[in-house]
Amino acid sequence: MAPKLDVNDPQVKSLLELFAKISLTGQRAHDTVKNAKYARSLEQVIHALKLDEANLDAKTSSAVVVAASSGADLEATKREYVVRRVLDGDLKSSDQIQTAVKFVASHTTIDPTEFDKECGVGVQVSAEECQNAVRSYMDANKPQIDSSGGWASMSSIMSAVRATPEMRWANALDIKAAVESELKARYGERSAALKKKPEKSTEGGKSAKQNASTTTSQPTGPDAMFQEGFLANLHKPGDNPQLTPELRAKHLEATNGSVMTRFPPEPNGFLHIGHSKAIAVNFGYAKYHKGLCYLRFDDTNPEAEEEKYFLSILETVRWLGFEPYQVTYSSDYFPRLYELAVELIKRGLAYVDHSSPEQIRAQRGGPEKGARSLSPWRDRPVSESLAEFQAMKQGKYRSGEATLRMKQDVLGSGNPQMWDLIAYRVLNAPHHRTKSEWCIYPTYDFTHCLVDSFENISHSLCTTEFILSRESYEWLCDALQVYKPRQYEYGRLNMEGTVLSKRKMLKLVQGGYVDGWDDPRMYTLIGLRRRGVPPGAILSFVSSLGVTTNNSTIQTNRFDQSVRQYLELDTPRLMMIVHPIKITIENLDEDFVLQIEKPLHPKVPAMGTTKVPFTRTVYIDRSDFRKQDAPDYFRLAPGKSIGLYQVPCPITCVSYRENADGDVQELICRYDEHAKPKTYIQWVAEHAASHSPVKVSEVRFFHNLFTSDNPAAEEDFLATINPNSREVFYDALLEPGFYDVARTAMQQAKAQAEQLQQNAKRLAVEALGEQRAKQAKEHTDALQAAHTTDFGKESIRFQAMRVGYFAVDRESQLSFLDKSQGEEDRLILNRIVTLKEDAGKTGSKPAKTS
């Protein structure tokens, strides 16, 4: 309980009287008096600005109190400035006043224009502008919002819209109203939408076990992983301990207090699904906090690096929806790292060692090697190490003859990362970027923390195998007295049912078991992309797993299930026939045509409609017809009727024609007003004027690449390859609604890519200011500038009703999109996932029928 105020105390009495003169009375006056600091601050401005004679109304007085209390720590003149601006009516909301206090606190002289800009003075945002901002945000983030069912994203939409500079000073209630009305228009009433949700989570879940996994991989908001758990509890920039206050101040000056992260792949292979977690964590954490993330190629190992990996990695990061603040290379820092190595020797904290690799291993001790020991070279004079290190650099030694080692704590520490780690080694290999300039290369242990330090990383997020390295990371930063970032470790994402190790994937590629690194059966990110998995589905999957210090091992089936859920509300539906059989409807005229308008998604009216022609010649799937009827069979057979989806009346089969082998060639049916169909099936009709049907050159169905549930654990993983992991069909026919779906998808992908670039630019300016963002951009490598985000054909996705989800393969030729004159059109479709969990495991039946 707070102490009661003694109103008889003369000092209290006089303060209460003074405050009453600015209409501050009652409980609020008492509270203010109780807090001596606030009271003193308010008293000071009242006297300085003669507010007791100013006749303030209640609203202004309340704003003055906010300014006095939040500005209690300010110098008097700065506090008076803020209060004066309140009195002038320039600062109205507490948000504005608090921003003003922060601004004056961090500026020695106050530039009024800059102040006004920062505090939103005079900014008026109309309700209509709010509505437009909400609309465009929801358009740009449609897939994520759809996957949450709409209303579940309400608060994240509100905060995202409020976080944009245009909406910074909008009235929160106007934004809330706009979000509500927009959600209602798109997803229906809130109460109805929230009730519908549980239905979705049981889809495809048969057993209790599957249901459980379905629920946990339920797509959550993309920001969920930053709002709870591990990533919600990291330090604020600047709060990580430093050797001296100066290091901290310099760091904050460089970053402007922003979150700075980095994604540091080694450019020696293509990224896989596990990396998407690292990307989501690093880029996502920065984005969530309006900070910046570097894409840093950790290229200290010259032997394994290749150009194609650099491009592919950047491309993949962009595909996932992130734009690096800068693309950097560890090798850019080689000269600086070398200088620091020299400095470390001078400080007596590193020495050139001539122990052989075996001797170094033996010094580390162990059950067979006995106690740990010090290198005999450890105490050689500094001057000798300096000379030898230079000799190493000049090529005097071959690999293994000399190393530079840090002088840590071999005998005292139980942490192997403190046993005089190697900082530099001799390696006579040309480097991808520095060519033959160097014959010594810094190790990961020496490079990573120092480059993090150079780049002023606020949070160095890495996987748990580096836990022990944190000690050496900090040791080295402190030894050199440089800014020390804070490392945090999170669990890796592993996939079971496939292999992710570079070595194993290389065997698949080189052995011709798959068609390259982007084969849709691979769990490389380029493979998943080619298969048609939307980037948002991957992020939503990663986010739904949450981030903790535990590694997670997920079956590929469960990933597929998550993709399926993501696609469910986001993907237009079309009719495709994989194994067509022709039907002639004998009672329709040759020139009969009925244009049928059908929704692209029955549950998402906003997706619009397409038109399909219905004529005398239609095609259905072979599997929907049987020569022999049966009591539990509901589809087409002689004498039986069936509904064609959205066609007003059913058809009844009168007869069929077969070839000498007994294969059915054609069905003869009647359009039949009186028939009562038991079920409806997909179909396409022949109508040249409507370009119907679209001929599909290839439809590719993918099944598990391995017969083992855990190929990575098998002695010979190649022995468990599923010989039937890909099936191709050559006769499929697709409805002409495909053309519009394809055009729209390409436009959207292009718009999203442009938006990404714009947002990235804006973020850099917001975090660092115009000037510094521009400088950073100029330093950025040509790689980044030259390469624009590729919105490929795989972003054309649809659900083929009753068949599965499909995407257009990158090798397709589509003249209506590419304007590739003279090229023969070739439409190739890849199945992204089946409609239901059980259909695609190893079976080869394309159509699951009811």
- Minimum gap (Å) between residue 802 Cβ and Mg ion: 44
Catalytic annotation on 266? yes
493 is a site residue for ligand ATP (CB under 6 A):
yes
265 is a site residue for ligand ATP (CB under 6 A):
yes
Instruction: Closer to ligand ATP by CB, 501 or 842: give it.
Output: 501
509 is a site residue for ligand ATP (CB under 6 A):
no
Instruction: Closer to ligand ATP by CB, 262 or 393: give it.
Output: 262
Site map 706..745 versus ligand ATP, x via CB under 6 A: ----------------------------------------
CA distance 801 to 804: 7
Q: What is the largest CA-CA distance in the chain?
A: 115
For residue 619, which of 582, 575, 668 has the smallest C-alpha distance?
A: 582
Size of the site for Mg ion (CB under 5 A): 1
Site map 543..582 versus ligand ATP, x via CB under 6 A: ----------------------------------------
Sign of torsion, CA 205 206 209 211? positive
**DSSP string for 135-177:** HHHHHHTHHHHHHTTTGGGHHHHHHHHHTSGGGTTS-HHHHHH
CA distance 527 to 533: 9
CA distance 111 to 666: 83
- Minimum gap (Å) between residue 301 Cβ and Mg ion: 9
Q: Which stretch binds ligand ATP (CB under 6 A): 1-9, 199-207, 494-502, 620-628?
A: 494-502
φ, ψ dihedrals at 312, nearest 5°: -65, -40
43 is a site residue for ligand ATP (CB under 6 A):
no
User: Which structure tokens are listed for 698?
Assistant: 């290839």
Sign of torsion, CA 754 756 759 760? negative
502 is a site residue for ligand ATP (CB under 6 A):
yes
**DSSP string for 561-606:** HHHHHHHHTTS-EE-EESSEEEEEETTS-TT-EEEEEEES-TT-GG
- Minimum gap (Å) between residue 488 Cβ and ligand ATP: 12
CB atoms within 10 A of CB 284: 25
Q: Which stretch binds ligand ATP (CB under 6 A): 273-281, 586-594, 782-790, 808-816?
A: 273-281
One of 43, 266, 471, 709 touching Mg ion (CB under 5 A): 266
CA distance 521 to 505: 11
Give the chain's count of helices (H) and strands (E).
30, 29
CA distance 43 to 56: 15
Instruction: Closer to ligand ATP by CB, 299 or 672: give it.
Output: 299
673-702 residues in contact with ligand ATP (CB under 6 A) are: none
* Binding-site partner at residue 79 among Mg ion, ligand ATP, none, CB < 5 to 8 Å by type: none
Q: For residue 591, what are the CA distances in angstroms to 9, 401, 581, 583, 616?
A: 101, 87, 21, 16, 8
Q: Which stretch binds Mg ion (CB under 5 A): 10-18, 156-164, 262-270, 452-460?
A: 262-270
User: Which structure tokens are listed for 473?
Assistant: 């990371």
Size of the site for ligand ATP (CB under 6 A): 15
* Binding-site partner at residue 265 among Mg ion, ligand ATP, none, CB < 5 to 8 Å by type: ligand ATP
Site map 221..260 versus Mg ion, x via CB under 5 A: ----------------------------------------
Instruction: Closer to ligand ATP by CB, 501 or 788: give it.
Output: 501
CB atoms within 10 A of CB 464: 15
Q: In this structure, what is the dihedral angle of CA atoms 738, 742, 744, 748, given to the nearest 10 degrees?
A: 150
* Binding-site partner at residue 699 among ligand ATP, Mg ion, none, CB < 5 to 8 Å by type: none
433-472 residues in contact with ligand ATP (CB under 6 A) are: 462-463
One of 18, 24, 134, 278 touching ligand ATP (CB under 6 A): 278
- Minimum gap (Å) between residue 571 Cβ and ligand ATP: 28
Instruction: Closer to ligand ATP by CB, 265 or 804: give it.
Output: 265
656-715 residues in contact with Mg ion (CB under 5 A) are: none
504 is a site residue for ligand ATP (CB under 6 A):
no
Tokens 């609020």 — which residue? Answer: 28
CB atoms within 10 A of CB 517: 21
CA distance 685 to 646: 13
275 is a site residue for ligand ATP (CB under 6 A):
yes
* Binding-site partner at residue 278 among ligand ATP, Mg ion, none, CB < 5 to 8 Å by type: ligand ATP
Catalytic annotation on 492? yes
One of 71, 204, 219, 264 touching ligand ATP (CB under 6 A): 264
For residue 555, which of 545, 540, 546, 565 has the smallest C-alpha distance?
A: 545
118 is a site residue for Mg ion (CB under 5 A):
no
Q: In this structure, what is the dihedral angle of CA atoms 777, 782, 788, 790, given to the nearest 10 degrees?
A: -130
303-332 residues in contact with ligand ATP (CB under 6 A) are: none
- The one catalytic residue among 118, 266, 343, 474: 266
3-state secondary structure of 286: helix
Active site residues: 266, 492, 502
In the complex, which residues of this chain contact Mg ion (CB under 5 A)? 266
In the complex, which residues of this chain contact ligand ATP (CB under 6 A)? 264-266, 274-275, 277-278, 462-463, 492-494, 500-502
